[in-house]
Structure 1
């Protein structure tokens, strides 16, 4: 098992944001977390990547307990977090943003290999290598944020709302690239408002409602569940 989250309880002050959630990811899987705004999806990712500390429960990655491991060390262990809203470094160039993603690595040849790998997935970034991040379009910024996440050579990428604010044609492009990254051996935990799109590329999914997991199963079963259809898929 690659990631094992057990009985996680997370608070924002008095607000009990995650209420004893448990789930897992196997090597090579794409797993989706779906749910309404405020359900706890982003909180889950932030807790796994060490930005938030749970009050109780545990996170194990590759068999090791990383529940209290500092965020910077979690990146070194092989987890990369692509946050909601992209959060690129606007005053830095595309190249500099990508290099920031590789800050845990020190072999220039290996870093260049990873950058070349990013350009295979995102050829547009290569064309804009010396352009400032803040001058890119929304879709290009999402590509840059995802590419930066790939630069640490992670075993697991946490993707938070990769399609937010993108046109339908770009959404399709981003999701094709997510599948391609996964096919190269990187596991993915995907948080996505576009539940139909997320389920179409996932192996399994968990449905979050107000900090609790209310449904889990393989993606096709979740997609065909009547409650999910009416609540999240608009069917």
Structure 2
């Protein structure tokens, strides 16, 4: 579904990702794991058209999206749940979800809002509460729900567990698995490598802007280098 090949991107004179290549097959959960500053979020921003690569290609469903604008990429079928959630703090839960459907012109938006509320009942209870007054976990649910409102074929999740309590993290990863089981392909960026690898089919390890390892999630979880660097020295 998504093929990233030889992509170079960064900020000004700083090159954050260096000649990276990876694939996300349709129906899979693929993880990009790595430490802070490895280039994970830059990769997500580049796929979404928020940054433009200086080299390489990004193909989605056989179409090169390198030079497309972000709203056109959303229309084509990719949504991003950004790092730090970035919900609209001064708008209600309901309004945040409506904004997630801003590229759509069909008459099923209300139906999809109800589907988000079924997935996250707490958001239904707080539908007219301002987004900024929600807990961190509730804001993450809202960020995921907002992204789903665009009806993506491919959902990009950037550090969905960041800053959340362990029980909430467990719920979020369970939700990611359910969204995938319902037919949405997922590219997951995570510092919580253990949790990411538990739910992923395939994984890539990013270090200082370069992919240094890749394989099935089980292969990566059992790799001694990954165990030492990201899994506390042992696998589960």
- TM-score, length basis structure 2: 0.97
Residue pair 2:31, 2:202 contacting (<8 A) in 1 also? yes
Are 1:111 and 2:112 matched, yes or no? Answer: no
Cα deviation code 1:99-119 (max 9, x no counterpart):
0000011223x1122112212
* Match in the other structure for 2:16: 17
* Match in the other structure for 1:86: 85
- TM-score, length basis structure 1: 0.98
* The one of 190, 200, 203 aligned to 1:202: 200
Residue pairs, 1:136-175, within 5 angstroms = 136-175=134-173
> How many residue pairs are counted as aligned between the two chains?
233
Gaps of 5+ in 1: none
* Match in the other structure for 1:128: 126
- The offset of 1:11, in angstroms, is 2.4
Cα deviation code 1:60-91 (max 9, x no counterpart):
00000101001110000000011000000000
* Match in the other structure for 1:227: 225
Residue pair 2:101, 2:150 contacting (<8 A) in 1 also? yes
Cα deviation code 1:114-165 (max 9, x no counterpart):
1122122211111110100011000000000010000000000110010111
CA distance, structure 2, for counterparts of residue 113 and residue 135 of structure 1: 25
CA distance, structure 1, for counterparts of residue 155 and residue 10 of structure 2: 24
Q: Residue 213 of structure 1 aligns to a residue in which SS?
A: strand
Q: Residue 156 of structure 2 aligns to a residue in which SS?
A: strand
Gaps of 5+ in 2: none
* Match in the other structure for 1:218: 216
Residue pair 2:10, 2:42 contacting (<8 A) in 1 also? no
| CA RMSD across the alignment | 0.7
Runs of 4+ in structure 1 displaced over 6 angstroms?
none
* Match in the other structure for 1:42: 41
- The offset of 1:16, in angstroms, is 1.4
* Match in the other structure for 1:60: 59
